[in-house]
Copies of this chain bind each other. A is one copy, B any other.
């Protein structure tokens, strides 16, 4: 399939969320203009993004909220549950275990890893903490698809390498460092400092 831009995929996620809110408000039909307004973009952008995947609206009328949310969910692969592992139980890691939003979207934390002997074999939210060296066995047993990296910078690359060796191909990386991976592995970086620094730049300029 033609390569779709990260921006488009990111916006589909926001449309998905917006549609969820509209459905909660019992709204049955929505225009691209309305979706755009709610997200601070143009209606052409919304229609263009959707057009990469098909035609989901009715001219003169708009989109059925439930049907469109369903289609976008299908496009994004949210019609299935994803089994997520968490590597590293510092502050960030612990916060993520309780982050309800993940579960709501079908991402379930099924395994926890750490390399601190004090933490290994303890229990956290009903999940046993495994040693990172047992990655392959547990990842296979729990059918892990995605791994959240919340370990210190100095360990991030080697931990990701270990998971890659066990066949994991998708990572959400919270360690503020850049990671090298083979072409068929995807790492999405979640770097809060970068966003704060963008704010710093903005305040400095304006």
Contact = CB atoms under 8 A, between A and B. Distances in A.
Interface of A: 1, 6, 9-10, 12-14, 16-18, 21, 38-40, 75-78, 82, 84, 91-92, 94-96, 98-99, 101-102, 105-107, 145-146, 169-172, 176-178, 180, 184, 186, 188, 190-206
B195 A77 contact: no
A196 B17 CA distance: 13
B203 A13 contact: no
Contacts of A194: 10, 13-14
B13 A205 contact: no
A166 to B, nearest CB: 15
Given A101-B176, A146-B196, 18 more contacts: A13-B198, A14-B194, A21-B177, A39-B178, A40-B180, A75-B201, A77-B197, A78-B197, A96-B192, A99-B192, A101-B193, A105-B197, A106-B200, A145-B203, A169-B203, A170-B203, A186-B203, A188-B195
Contacts of A203: 77, 82, 145-146, 169-170, 186
Contacts of A10: 194, 198
B105 A170 contact: no
Contacts of A75: 201
Contact of A91 (B99, B145, B202): B99
Given A76-B204, A202-B186, A105 B169 contact: no
